[in-house]
Amino acid sequence: MKQVGRLALVWVCLLMIALPNPVMAGNGDESVDLTQLKKLHEMGNVLPAGEVASWKTKTKTGMIPGTWYVGDKPSNLDASKHPIVFVQGLGSSALTWIENSGNMYEKAKAQGYETAFVQLYDAAGDQFANNQWKNGEMLAKQIKEISQYYHKKVNVVAHSKGGIDTQTALIYYDADQYVDNVVTLSSPHHGSNLANLSYSWYAGWLADLIGQQSAGTQSLQTGEMDKFRQMTDTRAEVKNNHIYTLAGKDWGSFGSSLYFGGLYLWSYGSNDGAVNVWSSKLTYGSHLYTGSSLNHYSMVKGDVFPRFESVIDDPIVTGAKQSLLLKGKLLGLYPAPVAKKTSLPVMASSQSNRVDQADEINDPGEQYIHGGKLASGKTVKEEVAVESGVNDVIFHVLSKRKVKVKLTSPSGKVYSNQSSAYKAGKGKEFFDRATVQAYRIAKPEAGNWKVEMTSKKNDAYFMLAAFNGADQAFDVDVDTKGSQQDEIPVDINVLDTEKYDPQTVKVAMKVVDSNGIEQYVNQQRIKKLKMIKKKKHRGQFQGEFRTRKQDGVYNITIEINGKMKNGEPFKRTLVRSVHVGN
């Protein structure tokens, strides 16, 4: 998804700098090396001239939405092959495919493919990252012009949100007539829980501060994508272009942004650090491969090209012929060009061609999250309850700047950034431009751990504590079946009343609507919605939140805390995103 873009330049610097550097264009830390684009040939822009002129004054990266390029003509051009249009993901640009050696562009060109690249709204900077409707409309125009330029249909290879933008262009903006097949690389077809997190009660402080609450991020909430799938998957047009999907299961190194994302998403199933495997599949698509060594960033590298090359140029066929063709591809009956060197494992013929969440979802709830403001020179203290029997606990703290983070065990042992348990990195994707700091504690002491954060400047933080080996404490059911309900019921069940003391359990719910407005109850704006314990049912709670019959996505943060039967404290948090209405 995000390959370029950092912190926006402060106002003082905007007054000091009038013209961009001819090599490094853009504002502040969103500057990029535009000389990389010299590898390509700019062919035009699908926007009106007036809009292009406007974008030249407001782009943060120097790149202009609507622009499209073609690559060099391959020396071994195979005229029987369809050109490939590469479409990048959230907050990214055409640079995704051409940076570094061994990139996807080089691999495609070496195999005799003509290529094309596009700039969507996201290319101008984080704040311009747009939803699938805006990007899809623009992409449809670009695909049409590219197809007309090459005088033939094209194939599309799309990374992450680019897969959703592509499907929108095909189905809603009539680009299907210019496209043969589509390959999506770790596209969140059913949304990403990281998008939910960035709009949640506690992470919202930080996401807003670092500018990650864009239309693009909002569109990837699972509630938003539930609505999109309901609208899209029953349309006849989904069969006009065959879609092949790939996914990954690697998170990168401990302390990295991908590891943070992977750790959070692990509660929802196997993932590549940004997207769950189950979300990358479509019921009517063909899932080609899930790579145990592929993460969300390595998915766009040239080494992945052989994984889909053998199917990307298939003609559109249906029924038994399609099933036979796909089976032959997966079993290797039709050989695919193979790179001379690749660390990827052999494609498995047992990969499912359907979305099977039951095989991917783990027990949710083994996490505790919190967040808020950090005032300059002040220390914020958080207590995290860890029960006995936990294999390890990982504390993540995200902030805009690198704040001081100190961790103290229940017995008083202090961990600092000099400890071997500590790692730090920079955020990407949904928390791009955030600083990531983490502690991993094996076989932690039971009791309340203290996390202290001190910042020299005003900041915000988001803290995630993940418990490996802890029992699932509760499950949640949100009933949105009534499309025009004014009150949406929420049921929460403590799963093991023999282990957790129901008399001590407290549950609270916090809700943010699609406009970022906190929940209203009894005409008063409050921050917590108390849950009512069901009578005659130990460990069961019931509550509701008001919609005022307004359609949209509601982001729900549910907190549960109490004591075990042995007296040890515990805390859990779960974030859900649901769409209410039509």
Confidence of residue 360 (pLDDT cuts 50, 70, 90): very low
Q: In total, how many domains does the chain have?
A: 3
Q: What is the rounded average pLDDT of the residues 381-397?
A: 92
Domain-ending residue, one of 303, 332, 359: 359
- Residues 455, 306 within the same domain: no
pLDDT of residue 540: 76
Same domain, 257 and 178: yes
Predicted pLDDT at 248: 97
Q: What is the pLDDT of residues 104-162, one digit of tens each?
A: 999 999 999 999 999 999 999 988 999 999 999 999 999 999 999 999 999 999 999 99
Residue 519 has what pLDDT? Answer: 54
Task: With a cut of 80, say whether residue 93 has pLDDT above it.
Answer: yes
Higher pLDDT, 205 or 581: 581
- Quick check: is 197 in a domain? no
Residue 383 and residue 336 in one domain: no
* Structural domain of 561: 474-580
- 267 and 337 part of one domain: yes
**Residue 103: CATH number of its domain:** 3.40.50.1820
pTM of the complete model beyond 0.85: no
Q: Is the pLDDT of residue 90 over 60?
A: yes
Sequence-distant (6+) residues with CB within 8 A of 231 are: none
| 62 domain-assigned | yes
pLDDT of res. 489: 78
Beta-strand ranges (E) seen in 208-272 are 242-248
Q: Which is more confidently placed, 496 or 346?
A: 496
Lowest average pLDDT, out of 39-53, 93-107, 197-211, 295-309, goes to: 197-211
- Tell me the residue type at 344: L
Q: Is 381 in the same domain as 274?
A: no
Q: Which has the minimum average pLDDT: 51-55, 169-173, 545-549?
A: 545-549
Phi and psi dihedrals of 77, rounded to 5? -50, 130
Q: Are 582 and 521 in contact (CB under 8 A)?
A: no
Boundary (domain end) residue, out of 434, 468, 502: 468
Indicate the pLDDT class of residue 484, thresholds 50, 70 and 90: low
Question: Is residue 88 located within the same domain as residue 114?
Answer: yes
315/255 same-domain check: yes
Do 423 and 515 lie in one domain? The reply is no
Answer whether residue 204 is part of any domain. Answer: no
Could you tell me the CATH number of the domain that includes residue 571? 2.60.40.1930
- Residue that has been written with the tokens 């504002």 in this structure: 27
Of the candidates 149, 526, 574, 89, the residue with the CA atom closest to the CA atom of residue 368? 574
Same domain (yes/no): 147, 79: yes
Separation of alpha carbons 418 and 406, rounded Å: 10
Domain boundary among 359, 377, 397: 359
Tens of pLDDT, residue by residue over 153-200, are 999 999 999 999 999 999 999 999 999 999 999 999 999 988 888 888
Residues 455 and 504 in one domain: no
- Residues 372, 353: one domain? no
* Torsion (CA) 147, 151, 155, 159 in degrees, nearest 10: -40
CA 567 – CA 517 distance, rounded (Å): 38
CA gap 573, 202 in Å, rounded: 11
247 in the same domain as 152: yes
